[in-house]
Amino acid sequence: MAFPYPSILSSIEELLVEVRSMEGVILVSESRRASFVSFSEVGALLSRLRLYPGGGKVAELLRTSLFDSDISSTAKPVLVLKADGTFWLGLMDVVGQLTQKDKEIEHLNRCFKLNILE
């Protein structure tokens, strides 16, 4: 199934950059706003998911994706929950995209190398 809300992909990517060193999951609900659920809060999220019809399956898939993902990776599970009970669960990362700070550091490194060569 394709990602259900292409219009919010950029906000998810921005959030992924902000929380890249943290462990947890990106959650998108009917409000279509991405929020970060830290690893310490995931247990409560899984318990709430199990209360809904079919939520046990979603909770198990999410739990598995959290424990199967590489902790050193910046990729995070992304869970999109819809009011009708359908969901989308995937792993997203911002690899290859530099933040503004990264671009500034790269620029300073290039300037520094030019000064050394002169």
Query: What type of residue is 1?
Result: M
CB–CB of 28/10 below 8 Å?
no
What's the CA gap between 22 and 16, in Å, rounded?
9
- Whether residue 99 lies inside any domain: the answer is yes
Q: What is the pLDDT along the chain (118 residues), one digit of tens a residue?
A: 678 888 898 899 899 989 988 889 999 988 889 999 998 999 999 999 999 888 899 999 999 888 876 655 678 899 999 888 788 998 888 765 555 666 666 667 667 666 655 4
Range of the domain at 50: 6-117
Q: How many domains does the chain divide into? A: 1
- Whether residue 77 lies inside any domain: the answer is yes
Distant-in-sequence, close-in-space partners of 48: CB < 8 Å, separation ≥ 6: 55
- Whether residue 1 lies inside any domain: the answer is no
